[in-house]
């Protein structure tokens, strides 16, 4: 039996890399949400900017507090990351996430990203182990996986997942903008279908992903409120 854990500074490195992507996305989404509400307002009077001198600092504080709290939770999760290689399987335990056990004979594919992260894919979509490059002895782990699984490690030539995440956010924002501001029934219908599909797909992926902690998966049910709101607006505009 072999055990692998993250380097001492590994958890902080992972969180810092994640923040470089998530913070700009959160800021753009928040600003866009405020812009949508102003544009969609029926008030024809000149916009009074004085309330925003109070609203903006309050929203900023809430965002800062939420990001800080989420960061602490993620740090605790990654600090408890433990990967065990037994005689028969790969077992991953990680904080407040369900344990993942993938027998060697069920490993379908091992993918290595350009940054060095490994993704071990099991028999089902929910059985996926993500191995950060910050893992101690990751080179040794690669050799063990090659011997135990009898598979080559693939390095796909595809777009960085961070760019895909940013693109999907802007796609969603564009769809939301069209739904809330357009009166063209075709544009509203297409945008509504796009948003509905993306939200449902994201929701299913989050609640079935064993690499996401339980609290995040519970909070994902708020997506249903957004989904119902979008559907309601689309129906009202079509009728």
Which CATH number describes the domain made up of 1-158? 2.30.29.30
Assess contact for 91 and 99: CB atoms under 8 A.
yes
Give pLDDT tens digits for 172-209. 777 877 877 778 888 888 888 888 888 888 888 888 88
Residues lower than pLDDT 50 in the chain? none
Q: What is the pLDDT of residue 83?
A: 92
- Residue 42 pLDDT: 55
pLDDT 10s digits, 91-118: 999 888 889 999 998 888 888 888 888 9
pLDDT value, residue 239: 79
First to last CA, the chain: 64
How far apart, in whole angstroms, are the C-alpha atoms of residue 145 and residue 115?
Answer: 18
Q: Where are the domains of the chain?
A: 1-158, 160-239
């Amino acid at each position: 039996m072999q055990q692998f854990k993250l380097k001492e500074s590994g958890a902080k490195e992972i969180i810092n890399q994640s923040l470089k992507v998530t913070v700009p996305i959160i800021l753009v989404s928040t600003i866009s949400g405020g812009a949508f509400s102003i544009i969609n307002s029926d008030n024809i009077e000149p916009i009074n900017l004085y309330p925003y001198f109070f609203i903006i600092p309050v929203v900023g504080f809430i965002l800062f507090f939420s990001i800080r709290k989420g960061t602490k939770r993620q740090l605790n999760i990654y600090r408890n990351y433990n990967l065990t290689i037994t005689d028969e399987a790969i077992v991953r335990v990680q904080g407040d996430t369900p344990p993942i056990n993938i027998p060697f004979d069920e490993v379908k594919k091992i993918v290595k990203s350009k940054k060095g992260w490994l993704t071990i894919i099991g028999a089902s979509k929910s059985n996926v182990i993500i191995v950060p490059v910050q893992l101690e002895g990751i080179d040794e782990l690669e050799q063990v996986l090659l011997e135990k699984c009898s598979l080559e490690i693939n390095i796909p030539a595809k777009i960085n997942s961070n760019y895909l995440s940013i693109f999907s956010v802007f796609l969603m924002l564009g769809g939301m903008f069209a739904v809330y501001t357009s009166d063209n029934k075709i544009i509203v219908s297409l945008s509504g279908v796009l948003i509905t599909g993306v939200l449902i797909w994201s929701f299913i992926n989050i609640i079935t992903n064993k690499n996401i902690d339980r609290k995040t998966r519970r909070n994902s049910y708020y997506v249903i409120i957004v989904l119902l709101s979008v559907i309601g607006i689309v129906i009202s505009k079509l009728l």
